[in-house]
């Protein structure tokens, strides 16, 4: 991405990040970016709730590792994702499917902050 910004800098009057800014961005992304799921660790991805999770969530991004959040955090994350899906014109799951996805994520959530 940085190489493209460097190239476009002159064409579109963009200012590319400095090496210090690049390092800060990389550090931030490595710490907070979504970690993709290890599909082999979740055999229930092939059960109904897991299939809903795969189908719905992969519309916009790689499937997240359920251990990124606690069981208590997942409902808010799921609701935020539904608002994002609506804004982007994606298929938004109904109540029953949302509940199944949330329960799947909570079942596999990390146990401590």
pLDDT, residue 30, reads 84
Question: Do 28 and 50 belong together in one domain?
Answer: no
Question: Do 23 and 43 belong together in one domain?
Answer: no
CB 22 within 8 A of CB 2: yes
Q: How far is CA 97 from CA 54, 57, 68, in A?
A: 12, 12, 21
Question: Do 96 and 51 belong together in one domain?
Answer: yes
- CA–CA separation, 59 and 80 (whole Å): 15
Residue 60 falls inside a structural domain: yes
Neighbours of 45 (CB within 10 A): 17
Instruction: Name the packing angle between helices 95-107 and 48-57 (round to 10°).
Output: 100
Total domains in the chain come to 2
Residue 113 falls inside a structural domain: no
Q: Which residue did the predictor score with more confidence, 100 or 6?
A: 100
pTM of the model: 0.75
Kindly report, residue by residue over 67-102, the tens digit of the pLDDT.
999 999 999 999 999 999 999 999 999 999 999 999
Q: How far is CA 66 from CA 69, 78, 109, in A?
A: 6, 11, 5
């Amino acid at each position: 991405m940085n190489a493209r910004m460097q190239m476009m800098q002159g064409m579109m009057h963009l200012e590319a990040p400095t090496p210090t800014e690049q390092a800060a961005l990389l550090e931030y992304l490595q710490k907070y970016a979504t970690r993709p799921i290890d599909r082999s660790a979740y055999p229930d991805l092939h059960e109904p709730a897991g299939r809903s999770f795969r189908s719905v969530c992969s519309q916009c991004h790689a499937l997240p590792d359920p251990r990124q959040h606690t069981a208590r955090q997942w409902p808010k994350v799921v609701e935020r994702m539904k608002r994002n899906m609506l804004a982007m014109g994606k298929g938004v799951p109904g109540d029953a499917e949302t509940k199944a996805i949330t329960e799947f994520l909570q079942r596999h959530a990390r146990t401590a902050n």
